[in-house]
Amino acid sequence: MYRKMWDKAMNGVHEQLLQKSTPNGLTYIADRLNGGRLDHKMDHLACFMGGSLALGAYTDPSGIDSSRAKRDLKTAKALTYTCYQMYARTQTGISPEFVQFRGGNDFKVPSSAPFYILRPEVVEAFYYLSVLTGDPIYREWGWEVFQSIEKYCKTEYGYGSLHDVNEPSMKPEDRMESFFLAETLKYLYLLFDPDSEIDILNKHVFNTEAHPFKIFNN
Annotated binding site for Ca(2+): 208
Where helices occur in 134-170 by DSSP H, the ranges are 137-152
Determine contact, residues 67/47, Cβ cutoff 8 Å.
no
Known catalytic residue at 140: no
Q: Can you tell me the distance from the alpha carbon of 14 to that of 191, in angstroms, rounded to the nearest whole number?
A: 28
What are the φ and ψ backbone dihedral angles of 13, each rounded to 5 degrees? -60, -45
- Selected catalytic residue, list 15, 97, 156, 167: 97
Pairing mode, if any, of strands 18-20 and 212-214? unpaired
Please compute, for residue 152, the number of CA atoms within 13 A of its CA located in the half-sphere on the CB side. 27
Q: Name the DSSP letter for residue 184.
A: I
Determine contact, residues 188/196, Cβ cutoff 8 Å.
no
What are the φ and ψ backbone dihedral angles of 44, each rounded to 5 degrees? -55, -35
Q: Which residues are annotated as a binding site?
A: 208
Active site residues: 97
